[in-house]
Structure 1
Amino acid sequence: MRESMYSALFGAMSNELRLDTISNNLANVNTTGFKKEAYAFQDTFQRFAHDYLTDDRTSVRGKEIWPRAYVMARPRLSGQYSDQSQGSLQETGNALDVGLVGSGYFKVRTPDGDLMTRNGSFQLSADGRLITEQGYEVLGDGGTAIELPRDNRVEIDANGRITADGVLLSQLDLVDVSDPKELEKAGKNMLRIKKDSNATEIPTEGLSVQQGYLEKSNVEIVSEMVNMMEAQRAFEINQKLMTATDTMESLVINKVGTVS
């Protein structure tokens, strides 16, 4: 098979992945605290045995004994990660809505263990526990559930301390990660550190808690739409290249060697 077919195939597969990623980002443009997926591609080179021939002594031979090396580039996904850049804050006026400014995450207890999130849209359960939209407990005071009175005025300061009518009740568990690129999505807008990663949870530094605000998604619609159109065009070009290669191969098979 012609190398052009392989190159076009890998190019189409790469752009298909780009389209899937961009589509997911756009679908979550209104999801509170959502972090867009970022990706990077690199060329992977295929080398032949004669590419590593380094003997250039003219006394040994007067001319090259091997054809010149041809290195073929084939694109591959080199990395995919969640872009943890700050999203803009939207004022809601709800005392249980909490936005984060800076690097850090809320700790939440789920059936799959303790996870992290930037979604600060909280509410009270029937028994007075602070929970997420999915019903998961928001953690405070080093890993315990936060219980709040229903009729008192609740205030949350910039450090995450929670008071009701001036009485300190709890403090939000806020953590950061030593390498944010080692985070992976666990579903329902939750994050966790990848398995076998060297990244660890660390104390936050410079993180500010804003009561009555929610952090919006960090997806930029215009740039994502431009990226989508670019990926679509690139995918179409690779499709045409595969079609053209197939046509040429068919002509070679059917015409070469035919006795007229």
Structure 2
Amino acid sequence: MDALTIAGIAMQNDMQRMDSISQNLANVMTPGYKRSIPVSRAFADLMGGAASGAAALHDTTAAQVLDTSAGTLRATSNPMDIAIEGNGYFEVATEQGTAYSRQGTLQVDPRGRLCNGDGRALIGLGGEIVIAPGPFSVEADGKVKQNGQTVGQLKVVQFSNPQGLLPMGNGLLAQGDATVSDHNVAARVRTGFLENSNVSSPQEMIRLTETLRHFETMIKVAQGYEDVFQKTVSKLGEF
């Protein structure tokens, strides 16, 4: 693997990091958002791929890994806002199938279903939760009560490897390679709170600066290699 190829791979990964940083910064105020972290292949693995053939060099892009650490809870005093304190994800019905989310903005659609802020139905232990017109409350254990009666209970799912979840946009996550845990979920539902994004703006700005400087350095490496190549060809042409 020559220096030009190495520089090209590095710049490609830098562009992916830029996309990740831009996505994170755009969602710094999105409740429950989990930041994305690009992870590049080890240099030794790249060298091994080069030795095994050119086809292996196509698999050089950085993998996107979720930072599933919890964000801080922000009090809103709105009974239609809920947050999970501890591990776990709300289960949401989407057109693509079951999804998971830490966002807890609630609403009731015209059919009486308890939904998230985007109008997608939240799944309870017995399926969709249907609420009659009028006020309701969500208890710490996820039970939804109305007029003193339990009308449903929110399903809170825990994963043994939540890093395997895949972003779907709008704060939703597909199961991907994540495995549902068999253990009891140690989580508490807090009413009147929303979970903040776990993105740190200063940290992302530092990553942005580092990535830009690295990209500029790789451009200089590629230009230097090209200059050496052109000079070599010119010298050979003199003979």
Shorter-chain TM-score range: 0.7 to 0.9
Decide which moves more: 158-167 or 216-225.
158-167
Residue 129 of structure 2 aligns with an amino acid whose one-letter code is I
RMSD (CA atoms): 2.2
Q: Tell me, which stretches of 5 or more residues in structure 1 are unaligned? A: 52-74
Residue 114 of structure 1 aligns with an amino acid whose one-letter code is T
Instruction: Give the aligned partner of residue 47 of structure 2.
Output: 46
Q: In 1, Cα distance between the equivalents of 2:207 and 2:184? A: 33
The structure whose residues are more often strand, as a share, is 1
Q: In 2, Cα distance between the equivalents of 1:160 and 1:138? A: 12
Residue 193 of structure 1 aligns with an amino acid whose one-letter code is Q
Give the CA deviation at 1:149.
3.2
Q: 2:89·2:156 contact (CA, 8 Å) conserved in 1?
A: yes
SS at match of 2:144: strand
Instruction: Give the aligned partner of residue 55 of structure 2.
Output: none
SS at match of 1:46: helix
Q: 1:15·1:235 contact (CA, 8 Å) conserved in 2?
A: yes
Q: In 2, Cα distance between the equivalents of 1:146 and 1:11? A: 49
Does residue 200 (structure 1) correspond to residue 180 (structure 2)? The answer is yes
Q: Tell me which structure has the larger Cα radius of gyration.
A: 1
Give the CA deviation at 1:225.
0.5
The structure whose residues are more often helix, as a share, is 2
Residue 169 of structure 1 aligns with an amino acid whose one-letter code is V
Instruction: Give the aligned partner of residue 6 of structure 1.
Output: 5
Give percent identity, aligned residues only. Answer: 28
Does residue 127 (structure 1) correspond to residue 111 (structure 2)? The answer is yes
Pick closer, same or farther for the CA change 1:198–1:24 going to 2, 3 Å.
closer
TM-score (norm 1): 0.81
Pick closer, same or farther for the CA change 1:112–1:47 going to 2, 3 Å.
closer
Pick closer, same or farther for the CA change 1:211–1:245 going to 2, 3 Å.
same
Give the CA deviation at 1:45.
4.7
Instruction: Give the aligned partner of residue 216 of structure 1.
Output: 196
Residue 30 of structure 1 aligns with an amino acid whose one-letter code is M
The equivalent position to 1:169 in structure 2, one of 151, 156, 164, is 151
Give the CA deviation at 1:128.
2.2
Instruction: Give the aligned partner of residue 30 of structure 2.
Output: 31
Q: Tell me, which stretches of 5 or more residues in structure 2 are unaligned? A: 52-58
Instruction: Give the aligned partner of residue 97 of structure 2.
Output: 113
Deviation track 1:23-81 (CA, whole Å, cap 9, x = no partner) reads: 11111111111111123222125369xx9xxxxxxxxxxxxxxxxxxxxxxx9456422
Q: In 1, Cα distance between the equivalents of 2:116 and 2:87? A: 20
Listed as ranges, the matches of 1:27-176 within 5 Å are 27-41=26-40, 42-43=42-43, 44-46=45-47, 76-77=60-61, 79-142=63-126, 144-152=127-135, 154-176=136-158
Show structure 1 runs of 4+ deviating over 6 A: none
Residue 150 of structure 1 aligns with an amino acid whose one-letter code is P
Q: 2:91·2:157 contact (CA, 8 Å) conserved in 1?
A: yes
Does residue 250 (structure 1) correspond to residue 233 (structure 2)? The answer is no
Pick closer, same or farther for the CA change 1:235–1:40 going to 2, 3 Å.
same
Give the CA deviation at 1:247.
1.1
